[in-house]
Amino acid sequence: MAQKVVHFPNKQRFELKAGPGEPAILSYHSRGEAMVMDHTFVPVAMRGQGIAAIITHDALLEARRLGWKVVPDCSYVENYIQRNPEFSDVLYRSDA
């Protein structure tokens, strides 16, 4: 995919635009010291192409780069981290 994921901190979301229409998004909000990834959305025309995995992967890389600890409040993000344990280091742990 030639398009790249763009982080919009002012909107608290990551976007991936791949063609006309609305972008795929992964939104988040802050909760204390944690970054809560709360929603992924892929437009119907973009589904079935691995877009949710791309945007989640890049959002987790950005969280790691920024030193954020993530709470996966979106089932897709939670499942993605379970399938890709190399991102377990970015998970928020209340006992840490």
Q: Give the domain ranges of the chain.
A: 6-90
Q: Residue 1 pLDDT more than 60?
A: no
Under 8 Å CB-to-CB from 92, ≥6 apart: which residues? 33, 34, 35, 69, 70, 71
- What pLDDT, on the 0 to 100 scale, is given for residue 95? 66
What distance in Å separates the CA atoms of residue 55 and residue 77, rounded to the nearest whole number? 10
**Architecture of the domain delimited by 6-90:** 3-Layer(aba) Sandwich (3.40)
| 58 SS3 class | helix
- Give the β-pairing of 6-8 and 34-41: unpaired
Cβ contact 39:56 at 8 Å? no
Q: Give residue 43's pLDDT band: very low, low, confident or very high (50, 70, 90).
A: very high
Q: Give residue 75's pLDDT band: very low, low, confident or very high (50, 70, 90).
A: very high
Instruction: Give mean pLDDT, residues 89-95.
Output: 87
